[in-house]
Structure 1
Amino acid sequence: MVISTSKIHMQYKLKKSEEDVMRIVRDMLAYTRSLGVQDIELIAEDAGRADRRFLYQLVEEAIKGGATTVDFADTVGYKFPHEWAGFFQEARESIPGIDNVVLATHCHDDLGLATANTLAAVHAGARQVEVTINGIGERAGNASLEEVVMAIKCRGNDLLGGIYTGINTKHIFTTCKRVEELSGLPIQPNKSIVGRNAFVHASGIHQDGVLKHRGTYEIISPEDIGRPRPSNDGIVLGKLSGRHALQTKLSELGYELDDEKFKYVFWRFKALAEKKKDLCDSDIKSLLLEEKVAKASAKEAHQVHT
Protein backbone atom coordinates (compact mmCIF):
# COMPACT_ATOMS: atom_id res chain seq x y z
CA MET A 1 0.00 0.00 0.00
CA VAL A 2 1.31 3.43 -0.96
CA ILE A 3 0.59 6.78 0.65
CA SER A 4 2.27 10.16 0.13
CA THR A 5 3.95 11.51 3.25
CA SER A 6 5.64 14.79 2.25
CA LYS A 7 3.91 18.13 2.63
CA ILE A 8 4.23 18.98 -1.05
CA HIS A 9 2.62 15.67 -2.05
CA MET A 10 -0.17 15.90 0.51
CA GLN A 11 -0.96 19.51 -0.41
CA TYR A 12 -0.74 19.44 -4.19
CA LYS A 13 -1.28 15.80 -5.17
CA LEU A 14 -3.58 14.34 -2.54
CA LYS A 15 -5.07 17.62 -1.37
CA LYS A 16 -5.23 16.02 2.07
CA SER A 17 -4.17 17.08 5.55
CA GLU A 18 -1.88 15.09 7.84
CA GLU A 19 -4.97 13.94 9.75
CA ASP A 20 -6.59 12.77 6.50
CA VAL A 21 -3.53 10.75 5.54
CA MET A 22 -3.33 9.21 9.00
CA ARG A 23 -7.00 8.16 8.77
CA ILE A 24 -6.52 6.71 5.28
CA VAL A 25 -3.63 4.55 6.48
CA ARG A 26 -5.66 3.24 9.42
CA ASP A 27 -8.60 2.45 7.12
CA MET A 28 -6.40 0.75 4.51
CA LEU A 29 -4.76 -1.47 7.10
CA ALA A 30 -8.03 -2.37 8.79
CA TYR A 31 -9.66 -3.28 5.47
CA THR A 32 -6.66 -5.31 4.30
CA ARG A 33 -6.52 -7.28 7.54
CA SER A 34 -10.26 -7.88 7.33
CA LEU A 35 -9.55 -9.78 4.11
CA GLY A 36 -7.23 -12.12 5.96
CA VAL A 37 -3.99 -10.64 4.63
CA GLN A 38 -1.16 -11.13 7.10
CA ASP A 39 1.85 -9.72 5.22
CA ILE A 40 1.31 -6.03 4.55
CA GLU A 41 3.81 -3.51 3.23
CA LEU A 42 3.26 0.19 3.70
CA ILE A 43 5.24 2.40 1.31
CA ALA A 44 5.80 5.92 2.59
CA GLU A 45 6.08 7.82 -0.67
CA ASP A 46 8.47 10.79 -0.75
CA ALA A 47 9.62 9.97 2.78
CA GLY A 48 12.91 11.67 1.98
CA ARG A 49 11.15 15.06 2.04
CA ALA A 50 8.56 14.30 4.73
CA ASP A 51 8.32 16.02 8.09
CA ARG A 52 9.87 13.41 10.38
CA ARG A 53 7.58 14.10 13.31
CA PHE A 54 4.56 13.30 11.19
CA LEU A 55 6.24 10.42 9.34
CA TYR A 56 7.33 8.67 12.53
CA GLN A 57 3.84 9.03 13.98
CA LEU A 58 2.34 7.61 10.79
CA VAL A 59 4.67 4.62 10.78
CA GLU A 60 3.99 3.94 14.45
CA GLU A 61 0.26 3.85 13.70
CA ALA A 62 0.89 1.60 10.69
CA ILE A 63 2.82 -0.88 12.80
CA LYS A 64 0.05 -0.91 15.40
CA GLY A 65 -2.41 -1.47 12.54
CA GLY A 66 -0.63 -4.58 11.30
CA ALA A 67 2.00 -3.46 8.78
CA THR A 68 4.78 -6.04 8.60
CA THR A 69 7.07 -4.14 6.22
CA VAL A 70 7.67 -0.40 6.19
CA ASP A 71 9.22 0.98 3.03
CA PHE A 72 10.77 4.44 3.06
CA ALA A 73 10.87 5.82 -0.49
CA ASP A 74 13.25 8.50 -1.69
CA THR A 75 10.78 9.07 -4.51
CA VAL A 76 12.55 11.97 -6.19
CA GLY A 77 16.14 10.90 -5.51
CA TYR A 78 16.64 13.85 -3.19
CA LYS A 79 18.80 12.44 -0.42
CA PHE A 80 22.58 12.04 -0.19
CA PRO A 81 23.86 8.69 1.13
CA HIS A 82 24.88 10.00 4.56
CA GLU A 83 21.47 11.65 4.94
CA TRP A 84 19.60 8.50 3.95
CA ALA A 85 21.64 6.34 6.32
CA GLY A 86 21.01 8.85 9.12
CA PHE A 87 17.32 8.85 8.28
CA PHE A 88 17.08 5.07 8.74
CA GLN A 89 19.17 5.14 11.88
CA GLU A 90 17.01 7.84 13.45
CA ALA A 91 13.82 6.02 12.44
CA ARG A 92 15.03 2.85 14.16
CA GLU A 93 15.76 4.81 17.31
CA SER A 94 12.57 6.90 17.31
CA ILE A 95 9.65 4.70 16.22
CA PRO A 96 8.19 2.27 18.79
CA GLY A 97 7.84 -1.28 17.46
CA ILE A 98 9.98 -0.71 14.37
CA ASP A 99 12.26 -3.60 15.28
CA ASN A 100 9.27 -5.91 14.74
CA VAL A 101 8.91 -5.05 11.04
CA VAL A 102 11.09 -5.35 7.97
CA LEU A 103 12.59 -2.03 6.93
CA ALA A 104 12.74 -1.46 3.18
CA THR A 105 14.24 1.21 0.93
CA HIS A 106 13.07 2.41 -2.47
CA CYS A 107 15.43 4.86 -4.19
CA HIS A 108 15.27 6.85 -7.41
CA ASP A 109 18.24 8.04 -9.43
CA ASP A 110 17.48 11.70 -10.17
CA LEU A 111 20.89 12.75 -8.80
CA GLY A 112 22.64 9.50 -9.73
CA LEU A 113 22.63 8.35 -6.09
CA ALA A 114 20.06 5.54 -6.10
CA THR A 115 22.54 2.68 -5.71
CA ALA A 116 24.61 4.58 -3.14
CA ASN A 117 21.50 5.49 -1.14
CA THR A 118 20.23 1.92 -1.25
CA LEU A 119 23.52 0.60 0.12
CA ALA A 120 23.57 3.34 2.76
CA ALA A 121 20.12 2.23 3.91
CA VAL A 122 21.28 -1.39 4.09
CA HIS A 123 24.21 -0.29 6.21
CA ALA A 124 21.75 1.47 8.52
CA GLY A 125 19.41 -1.49 8.92
CA ALA A 126 17.24 -1.88 5.81
CA ARG A 127 16.74 -5.56 4.99
CA GLN A 128 14.60 -5.24 1.87
CA VAL A 129 15.79 -3.30 -1.16
CA GLU A 130 13.58 -2.36 -4.08
CA VAL A 131 15.54 -2.37 -7.30
CA THR A 132 15.04 -2.80 -11.06
CA ILE A 133 16.91 -4.61 -13.81
CA ASN A 134 19.22 -2.17 -15.63
CA GLY A 135 17.94 0.59 -13.31
CA ILE A 136 14.82 1.07 -15.47
CA GLY A 137 12.22 3.30 -13.84
CA GLU A 138 10.48 6.67 -13.67
CA ARG A 139 12.48 9.63 -14.98
CA ALA A 140 16.18 8.83 -14.37
CA GLY A 141 15.30 5.36 -13.11
CA ASN A 142 15.60 3.38 -9.89
CA ALA A 143 18.39 1.65 -8.03
CA SER A 144 19.92 -0.94 -10.34
CA LEU A 145 19.60 -4.57 -9.24
CA GLU A 146 22.91 -5.61 -10.79
CA GLU A 147 24.79 -2.75 -9.12
CA VAL A 148 23.29 -3.31 -5.67
CA VAL A 149 23.71 -7.09 -5.80
CA MET A 150 27.32 -6.99 -6.98
CA ALA A 151 28.23 -4.23 -4.52
CA ILE A 152 26.89 -6.38 -1.68
CA LYS A 153 28.66 -9.45 -3.07
CA CYS A 154 31.92 -7.50 -3.39
CA ARG A 155 31.87 -5.59 -0.09
CA GLY A 156 29.16 -7.23 2.03
CA ASN A 157 31.55 -9.11 4.26
CA ASP A 158 33.90 -6.29 5.16
CA LEU A 159 31.47 -3.33 5.20
CA LEU A 160 27.98 -4.71 5.79
CA GLY A 161 28.51 -7.32 8.47
CA GLY A 162 28.19 -10.31 6.18
CA ILE A 163 24.97 -9.24 4.45
CA TYR A 164 24.19 -11.22 1.30
CA THR A 165 21.32 -11.44 -1.19
CA GLY A 166 21.15 -15.14 -2.06
CA ILE A 167 20.93 -14.23 -5.75
CA ASN A 168 22.82 -16.43 -8.21
CA THR A 169 24.90 -13.69 -9.80
CA LYS A 170 25.86 -15.87 -12.75
CA HIS A 171 22.40 -15.17 -14.21
CA ILE A 172 22.75 -11.38 -14.03
CA PHE A 173 24.23 -10.73 -17.47
CA THR A 174 21.76 -12.85 -19.44
CA THR A 175 18.87 -11.38 -17.45
CA CYS A 176 19.96 -7.80 -18.10
CA LYS A 177 20.46 -8.48 -21.81
CA ARG A 178 17.03 -10.13 -22.01
CA VAL A 179 15.38 -7.12 -20.39
CA GLU A 180 17.25 -4.87 -22.83
CA GLU A 181 15.84 -6.85 -25.76
CA LEU A 182 12.27 -6.98 -24.46
CA SER A 183 12.09 -3.37 -23.26
CA GLY A 184 13.85 -1.81 -26.24
CA LEU A 185 15.88 0.29 -23.80
CA PRO A 186 19.57 -0.11 -24.70
CA ILE A 187 22.19 -0.56 -22.01
CA GLN A 188 24.73 2.26 -22.14
CA PRO A 189 28.23 1.07 -23.14
CA ASN A 190 29.71 2.52 -19.93
CA LYS A 191 26.97 1.07 -17.67
CA SER A 192 28.57 -0.52 -14.63
CA ILE A 193 28.55 -4.32 -14.36
CA VAL A 194 26.76 -5.08 -17.65
CA GLY A 195 27.77 -2.32 -20.08
CA ARG A 196 29.75 -3.26 -23.18
CA ASN A 197 32.86 -1.50 -21.84
CA ALA A 198 32.61 -2.68 -18.22
CA PHE A 199 35.52 -5.12 -18.62
CA VAL A 200 37.35 -3.43 -21.50
CA HIS A 201 40.71 -1.75 -20.94
CA ALA A 202 41.95 0.96 -23.31
CA SER A 203 44.45 3.06 -21.33
CA GLY A 204 48.08 1.99 -21.57
CA ILE A 205 48.71 1.98 -17.83
CA HIS A 206 45.52 -0.02 -17.25
CA GLN A 207 46.40 -2.52 -19.96
CA ASP A 208 49.88 -2.97 -18.52
CA GLY A 209 48.46 -3.65 -15.07
CA VAL A 210 45.75 -6.05 -16.27
CA LEU A 211 48.23 -8.02 -18.34
CA LYS A 212 50.36 -8.46 -15.24
CA HIS A 213 47.46 -9.24 -12.87
CA ARG A 214 43.74 -8.81 -13.57
CA GLY A 215 43.06 -7.72 -10.01
CA THR A 216 44.91 -4.47 -10.61
CA TYR A 217 41.93 -3.03 -12.47
CA GLU A 218 39.10 -5.57 -12.05
CA ILE A 219 37.39 -5.90 -8.66
CA ILE A 220 34.93 -8.42 -10.10
CA SER A 221 35.28 -10.70 -13.11
CA PRO A 222 32.93 -11.19 -16.07
CA GLU A 223 32.51 -14.81 -14.99
CA ASP A 224 30.98 -13.59 -11.69
CA ILE A 225 27.91 -12.36 -13.59
CA GLY A 226 27.83 -15.12 -16.20
CA ARG A 227 29.33 -12.92 -18.87
CA PRO A 228 31.76 -14.16 -21.55
CA ARG A 229 35.12 -12.47 -21.23
CA PRO A 230 35.54 -9.85 -24.00
CA SER A 231 37.58 -10.80 -27.03
CA ASN A 232 41.31 -10.11 -26.77
CA ASP A 233 40.90 -10.49 -22.99
CA GLY A 234 39.35 -7.04 -22.79
CA ILE A 235 42.42 -5.28 -24.18
CA VAL A 236 41.46 -2.73 -26.84
CA LEU A 237 44.37 -1.48 -28.91
CA GLY A 238 44.12 2.24 -29.62
CA LYS A 239 45.94 5.54 -29.25
CA LEU A 240 46.16 5.17 -25.45
CA SER A 241 47.73 1.71 -25.57
CA GLY A 242 51.35 1.22 -24.56
CA ARG A 243 54.22 -1.08 -25.50
CA HIS A 244 53.17 -3.93 -23.23
CA ALA A 245 49.76 -4.27 -24.87
CA LEU A 246 51.21 -4.24 -28.38
CA GLN A 247 53.92 -6.74 -27.47
CA THR A 248 51.30 -9.06 -26.02
CA LYS A 249 49.17 -8.81 -29.15
CA LEU A 250 52.18 -9.52 -31.38
CA SER A 251 52.98 -12.61 -29.32
CA GLU A 252 49.38 -13.79 -29.62
CA LEU A 253 49.65 -13.43 -33.39
CA GLY A 254 52.87 -15.45 -33.39
CA TYR A 255 55.38 -12.66 -33.99
CA GLU A 256 58.57 -12.03 -32.05
CA LEU A 257 60.41 -8.83 -32.99
CA ASP A 258 63.78 -7.58 -31.94
CA ASP A 259 64.02 -4.14 -30.32
CA GLU A 260 64.74 -2.28 -33.55
CA LYS A 261 61.81 -3.82 -35.43
CA PHE A 262 59.47 -3.35 -32.50
CA LYS A 263 60.35 0.35 -32.22
CA TYR A 264 59.43 0.86 -35.87
CA VAL A 265 56.19 -1.11 -35.59
CA PHE A 266 55.23 0.69 -32.37
CA TRP A 267 55.87 4.07 -33.98
CA ARG A 268 53.67 3.12 -36.94
CA PHE A 269 51.06 1.66 -34.56
CA LYS A 270 50.75 4.96 -32.64
CA ALA A 271 50.46 6.91 -35.89
CA LEU A 272 47.70 4.64 -37.17
CA ALA A 273 45.90 4.70 -33.80
CA GLU A 274 45.60 8.49 -34.06
CA LYS A 275 43.55 8.00 -37.22
CA LYS A 276 41.58 4.87 -36.30
CA LYS A 277 39.87 4.45 -32.93
CA ASP A 278 40.30 0.70 -32.36
CA LEU A 279 42.83 -1.46 -34.15
CA CYS A 280 42.07 -5.08 -35.05
CA ASP A 281 44.37 -8.01 -35.81
CA SER A 282 44.47 -7.22 -39.53
CA ASP A 283 45.68 -3.69 -38.75
CA ILE A 284 48.56 -5.08 -36.69
CA LYS A 285 49.48 -7.53 -39.45
CA SER A 286 49.52 -4.70 -41.98
CA LEU A 287 52.00 -2.83 -39.77
CA LEU A 288 54.27 -5.88 -39.79
CA LEU A 289 54.04 -6.00 -43.57
CA GLU A 290 54.99 -2.31 -43.72
CA GLU A 291 58.00 -3.04 -41.54
CA LYS A 292 59.15 -5.78 -43.93
CA VAL A 293 58.61 -3.57 -46.99
CA ALA A 294 60.47 -0.67 -45.39
CA LYS A 295 63.37 -2.93 -44.49
CA ALA A 296 63.48 -4.41 -48.00
CA SER A 297 63.40 -0.95 -49.59
CA ALA A 298 66.23 0.24 -47.40
CA LYS A 299 68.30 -2.82 -48.35
CA GLU A 300 67.67 -2.29 -52.10
CA ALA A 301 68.60 1.40 -51.83
CA HIS A 302 71.83 0.45 -50.09
CA GLN A 303 72.69 -2.05 -52.85
CA VAL A 304 72.01 0.48 -55.61
CA HIS A 305 74.17 3.09 -53.89
CA THR A 306 76.96 0.54 -53.51
Structure 2
Amino acid sequence: RELRGLAPRLAAAAVEWGRTGEEAEVRLVARFQDRVGSGAALDPLAEAEAADDVADWLREQGLGQTVDLADDLAEHGVDRAELDALAAGLRPDALAAALAYLVPVLRIRTLAADAAEASERVVELVRRTSAYTNLDRAPQRDADLREGLEATLALMAPKLRNIRVRREYGGVPDLQAFPSELNQVWTNLIDNAVDAMGGEGELTISTRREGDHAVVEFRDTGHGIPAEALPNVFQPFFTTKDLGKGTGLGLHVSMDIVAQRHGGTMEVDSRPGDTRFVVRLPLARDPG
Protein backbone atom coordinates (compact mmCIF):
# COMPACT_ATOMS: atom_id res chain seq x y z
CA ARG A 1 0.00 0.00 0.00
CA GLU A 2 2.78 2.43 0.88
CA LEU A 3 4.64 1.57 -2.31
CA ARG A 4 1.48 2.21 -4.33
CA GLY A 5 1.23 5.68 -2.79
CA LEU A 6 4.89 6.47 -3.35
CA ALA A 7 4.86 5.69 -7.07
CA PRO A 8 2.86 8.76 -8.20
CA ARG A 9 4.73 10.92 -5.70
CA LEU A 10 8.04 9.83 -7.18
CA ALA A 11 6.79 10.32 -10.74
CA ALA A 12 5.75 13.91 -10.01
CA ALA A 13 8.96 14.66 -8.12
CA ALA A 14 11.08 13.16 -10.91
CA VAL A 15 9.37 15.35 -13.49
CA GLU A 16 9.95 18.45 -11.39
CA TRP A 17 13.56 17.51 -10.68
CA GLY A 18 14.18 16.81 -14.37
CA ARG A 19 12.83 20.26 -15.18
CA THR A 20 14.78 22.02 -12.41
CA GLY A 21 18.13 20.25 -12.12
CA GLU A 22 21.08 21.08 -14.32
CA GLU A 23 23.31 18.31 -15.66
CA ALA A 24 25.98 18.66 -12.97
CA GLU A 25 23.32 18.83 -10.26
CA VAL A 26 21.59 15.70 -11.54
CA ARG A 27 24.90 13.82 -11.39
CA LEU A 28 25.55 15.11 -7.87
CA VAL A 29 22.15 13.97 -6.63
CA ALA A 30 22.59 10.56 -8.30
CA ARG A 31 25.90 10.04 -6.47
CA PHE A 32 24.32 11.18 -3.21
CA GLN A 33 21.44 8.76 -3.73
CA ASP A 34 23.80 5.83 -4.27
CA ARG A 35 25.91 6.69 -1.23
CA VAL A 36 23.38 7.28 1.56
CA GLY A 37 21.75 4.55 3.59
CA SER A 38 24.77 2.26 3.55
CA GLY A 39 25.81 2.84 7.16
CA ALA A 40 24.72 1.04 10.31
CA ALA A 41 21.12 1.62 11.39
CA LEU A 42 20.61 4.07 14.25
CA ASP A 43 18.80 3.15 17.42
CA PRO A 44 15.36 4.82 17.81
CA LEU A 45 16.61 7.56 20.17
CA ALA A 46 19.59 8.47 17.97
CA GLU A 47 17.35 8.49 14.90
CA ALA A 48 14.88 10.85 16.59
CA GLU A 49 17.71 13.21 17.54
CA ALA A 50 19.07 13.05 13.98
CA ALA A 51 15.61 13.86 12.59
CA ASP A 52 15.38 16.93 14.83
CA ASP A 53 18.79 18.11 13.60
CA VAL A 54 17.81 17.57 9.96
CA ALA A 55 14.54 19.45 10.56
CA ASP A 56 16.52 22.37 11.98
CA TRP A 57 18.77 22.31 8.91
CA LEU A 58 15.77 22.37 6.58
CA ARG A 59 14.33 25.38 8.38
CA GLU A 60 17.68 27.14 8.19
CA GLN A 61 17.59 26.68 4.44
CA GLY A 62 14.13 28.20 4.21
CA LEU A 63 12.56 24.78 3.61
CA GLY A 64 10.24 24.73 6.60
CA GLN A 65 7.40 23.54 4.39
CA THR A 66 9.38 20.34 3.73
CA VAL A 67 10.20 19.64 7.38
CA ASP A 68 8.22 16.39 7.11
CA LEU A 69 11.14 15.12 5.02
CA ALA A 70 13.36 15.11 8.11
CA ASP A 71 12.21 11.72 9.40
CA ASP A 72 12.75 10.03 6.04
CA LEU A 73 16.19 11.57 5.56
CA ALA A 74 17.33 10.71 9.09
CA GLU A 75 16.06 7.14 8.71
CA HIS A 76 18.49 6.73 5.80
CA GLY A 77 21.40 8.11 7.78
CA VAL A 78 21.43 11.55 6.13
CA ASP A 79 22.89 14.07 8.58
CA ARG A 80 23.65 17.78 8.59
CA ALA A 81 27.16 17.35 7.18
CA GLU A 82 25.91 15.38 4.18
CA LEU A 83 23.15 17.90 3.56
CA ASP A 84 25.68 20.73 3.68
CA ALA A 85 27.77 18.91 1.07
CA LEU A 86 24.72 18.35 -1.11
CA ALA A 87 23.52 21.95 -0.82
CA ALA A 88 26.99 23.24 -1.73
CA GLY A 89 26.64 21.73 -5.19
CA LEU A 90 23.07 22.86 -5.85
CA ARG A 91 21.51 26.19 -6.65
CA PRO A 92 19.19 27.35 -3.86
CA ASP A 93 16.10 27.00 -6.03
CA ALA A 94 17.10 23.43 -6.98
CA LEU A 95 17.58 22.16 -3.42
CA ALA A 96 13.89 21.74 -2.59
CA ALA A 97 13.21 19.87 -5.84
CA ALA A 98 16.23 17.61 -5.26
CA LEU A 99 15.11 16.68 -1.75
CA ALA A 100 11.50 16.14 -2.85
CA TYR A 101 12.85 13.69 -5.44
CA LEU A 102 15.40 11.99 -3.17
CA VAL A 103 13.07 11.06 -0.32
CA PRO A 104 10.64 8.81 -2.28
CA VAL A 105 13.60 7.26 -4.12
CA LEU A 106 15.23 6.31 -0.82
CA ARG A 107 11.93 5.15 0.66
CA ILE A 108 11.14 2.92 -2.31
CA ARG A 109 14.62 1.45 -2.11
CA THR A 110 14.05 0.57 1.53
CA LEU A 111 10.65 -0.97 0.81
CA ALA A 112 12.15 -3.06 -2.00
CA ALA A 113 14.86 -4.33 0.35
CA ASP A 114 12.25 -5.11 3.01
CA ALA A 115 10.15 -7.00 0.46
CA ALA A 116 13.16 -9.03 -0.66
CA GLU A 117 14.02 -9.89 2.95
CA ALA A 118 10.41 -10.83 3.67
CA SER A 119 10.36 -13.11 0.64
CA GLU A 120 13.49 -14.87 1.86
CA ARG A 121 11.88 -15.34 5.26
CA VAL A 122 8.75 -16.80 3.69
CA VAL A 123 10.86 -19.26 1.71
CA GLU A 124 12.71 -20.26 4.89
CA LEU A 125 9.45 -20.58 6.82
CA VAL A 126 7.98 -22.84 4.13
CA ARG A 127 11.11 -24.97 4.24
CA ARG A 128 10.98 -25.16 8.04
CA THR A 129 7.27 -25.93 8.01
CA SER A 130 7.83 -28.72 5.51
CA ALA A 131 10.58 -30.11 7.72
CA TYR A 132 8.30 -29.86 10.75
CA THR A 133 5.23 -31.50 9.24
CA ASN A 134 6.92 -33.66 6.60
CA LEU A 135 3.95 -33.07 4.32
CA ASP A 136 5.99 -34.00 1.28
CA ARG A 137 7.43 -37.23 2.70
CA ALA A 138 6.31 -40.68 3.71
CA PRO A 139 5.07 -40.87 7.34
CA GLN A 140 7.92 -43.16 8.40
CA ARG A 141 11.43 -42.62 7.15
CA ASP A 142 15.04 -42.14 8.16
CA ALA A 143 14.88 -39.08 10.40
CA ASP A 144 17.56 -36.57 11.32
CA LEU A 145 16.70 -35.62 14.91
CA ARG A 146 18.55 -32.31 14.73
CA GLU A 147 16.58 -31.31 11.63
CA GLY A 148 13.31 -31.87 13.48
CA LEU A 149 14.53 -30.02 16.56
CA GLU A 150 15.63 -27.03 14.51
CA ALA A 151 12.35 -26.96 12.59
CA THR A 152 10.45 -26.99 15.89
CA LEU A 153 12.59 -24.22 17.37
CA ALA A 154 12.10 -22.09 14.26
CA LEU A 155 8.32 -22.38 14.40
CA MET A 156 8.30 -21.67 18.14
CA ALA A 157 10.65 -18.68 17.84
CA PRO A 158 8.06 -16.07 18.95
CA LYS A 159 7.50 -17.92 22.22
CA LEU A 160 11.27 -18.30 22.71
CA ARG A 161 11.99 -14.59 22.31
CA ASN A 162 13.23 -14.19 25.91
CA ILE A 163 14.61 -17.71 26.26
CA ARG A 164 18.28 -18.45 25.79
CA VAL A 165 18.44 -21.68 23.79
CA ARG A 166 21.63 -23.71 24.06
CA ARG A 167 22.21 -26.46 21.55
CA GLU A 168 24.52 -29.31 22.49
CA TYR A 169 24.11 -31.63 19.55
CA GLY A 170 26.26 -34.74 19.62
CA GLY A 171 26.72 -37.26 16.88
CA VAL A 172 23.51 -39.23 16.39
CA PRO A 173 22.79 -41.25 13.25
CA ASP A 174 19.47 -41.08 11.45
CA LEU A 175 16.86 -43.52 12.71
CA GLN A 176 13.59 -44.92 11.42
CA ALA A 177 10.85 -42.75 12.84
CA PHE A 178 7.67 -40.80 12.29
CA PRO A 179 9.27 -37.33 12.14
CA SER A 180 6.09 -35.25 12.35
CA GLU A 181 5.05 -37.13 15.48
CA LEU A 182 8.45 -36.64 17.09
CA ASN A 183 8.19 -32.95 16.28
CA GLN A 184 4.95 -32.93 18.26
CA VAL A 185 6.88 -34.37 21.21
CA TRP A 186 9.59 -31.69 20.88
CA THR A 187 6.88 -29.01 20.72
CA ASN A 188 5.19 -30.24 23.89
CA LEU A 189 8.45 -30.46 25.83
CA ILE A 190 9.66 -27.04 24.72
CA ASP A 191 6.27 -25.48 25.41
CA ASN A 192 6.22 -26.95 28.93
CA ALA A 193 9.76 -25.71 29.57
CA VAL A 194 8.89 -22.18 28.49
CA ASP A 195 5.83 -22.15 30.74
CA ALA A 196 7.85 -23.49 33.67
CA MET A 197 10.35 -20.65 33.21
CA GLY A 198 7.67 -18.01 32.96
CA GLY A 199 8.89 -17.11 29.48
CA GLU A 200 12.43 -16.23 30.64
CA GLY A 201 15.38 -18.50 31.32
CA GLU A 202 17.68 -20.98 29.64
CA LEU A 203 16.68 -24.07 27.67
CA THR A 204 19.37 -26.59 26.79
CA ILE A 205 18.64 -29.18 24.11
CA SER A 206 21.19 -31.93 23.66
CA THR A 207 21.48 -35.04 21.54
CA ARG A 208 23.84 -37.96 22.01
CA ARG A 209 24.19 -41.65 21.32
CA GLU A 210 24.07 -44.14 24.16
CA GLY A 211 24.74 -47.65 22.88
CA ASP A 212 21.95 -48.59 20.48
CA HIS A 213 19.78 -45.60 21.42
CA ALA A 214 19.59 -41.96 20.41
CA VAL A 215 19.04 -39.65 23.37
CA VAL A 216 17.40 -36.22 23.24
CA GLU A 217 17.44 -34.20 26.46
CA PHE A 218 15.56 -31.00 27.30
CA ARG A 219 16.82 -29.13 30.34
CA ASP A 220 15.25 -25.91 31.66
CA THR A 221 15.88 -23.50 34.51
CA GLY A 222 12.25 -23.21 35.56
CA HIS A 223 10.59 -23.61 38.94
CA GLY A 224 10.62 -27.40 38.69
CA ILE A 225 7.99 -30.07 39.21
CA PRO A 226 7.04 -30.94 42.82
CA ALA A 227 8.45 -34.30 43.89
CA GLU A 228 4.99 -35.63 44.71
CA ALA A 229 3.80 -34.81 41.17
CA LEU A 230 6.64 -36.51 39.30
CA PRO A 231 5.11 -40.03 39.27
CA ASN A 232 1.96 -38.65 37.62
CA VAL A 233 3.25 -36.26 34.95
CA PHE A 234 2.64 -38.71 32.09
CA GLN A 235 -0.87 -39.60 33.23
CA PRO A 236 -3.74 -38.27 31.10
CA PHE A 237 -5.35 -35.04 32.32
CA PHE A 238 -2.73 -34.52 35.02
CA THR A 239 -1.22 -31.04 34.97
CA THR A 240 0.75 -28.81 37.32
CA LYS A 241 -0.22 -25.69 35.36
CA ASP A 242 -2.73 -23.16 36.63
CA LEU A 243 -6.38 -23.81 35.93
CA GLY A 244 -7.20 -23.09 32.29
CA LYS A 245 -3.56 -23.15 31.13
CA GLY A 246 -3.12 -26.83 30.41
CA THR A 247 -5.14 -29.86 29.35
CA GLY A 248 -2.94 -32.45 31.00
CA LEU A 249 -2.61 -34.31 27.69
CA GLY A 250 0.66 -32.99 26.23
CA LEU A 251 3.03 -35.25 28.16
CA HIS A 252 0.67 -38.20 27.97
CA VAL A 253 0.47 -37.93 24.18
CA SER A 254 4.23 -37.42 23.99
CA MET A 255 4.89 -40.55 26.02
CA ASP A 256 2.52 -42.51 23.79
CA ILE A 257 4.37 -41.32 20.67
CA VAL A 258 7.76 -42.17 22.16
CA ALA A 259 6.85 -45.51 23.71
CA GLN A 260 4.11 -46.94 21.50
CA ARG A 261 5.05 -45.51 18.12
CA HIS A 262 8.84 -45.59 18.46
CA GLY A 263 9.59 -48.21 21.12
CA GLY A 264 11.42 -45.66 23.24
CA THR A 265 11.29 -44.29 26.75
CA MET A 266 10.89 -40.88 28.35
CA GLU A 267 12.01 -39.95 31.84
CA VAL A 268 11.87 -36.80 33.92
CA ASP A 269 14.01 -35.53 36.76
CA SER A 270 13.25 -32.21 38.39
CA ARG A 271 14.30 -29.83 41.09
CA PRO A 272 13.95 -26.04 41.25
CA GLY A 273 16.12 -24.49 38.53
CA ASP A 274 16.89 -27.79 36.82
CA THR A 275 14.25 -29.93 35.13
CA ARG A 276 15.26 -32.57 32.58
CA PHE A 277 13.15 -34.61 30.20
CA VAL A 278 15.16 -37.38 28.58
CA VAL A 279 13.86 -39.18 25.49
CA ARG A 280 15.55 -42.40 24.39
CA LEU A 281 14.80 -43.81 20.93
CA PRO A 282 16.12 -47.11 19.58
CA LEU A 283 18.34 -46.71 16.54
CA ALA A 284 17.07 -49.99 15.11
CA ARG A 285 13.55 -51.40 15.43
CA ASP A 286 12.56 -55.03 15.41
CA PRO A 287 10.40 -55.45 12.28
CA GLY A 288 8.14 -57.70 14.24
Give the TM-score normalised by the residue count of structure 1.
Answer: 0.25
Structure with the larger strand share: 2
Higher RCO (Cα < 8 Å, 6 or more apart): 2
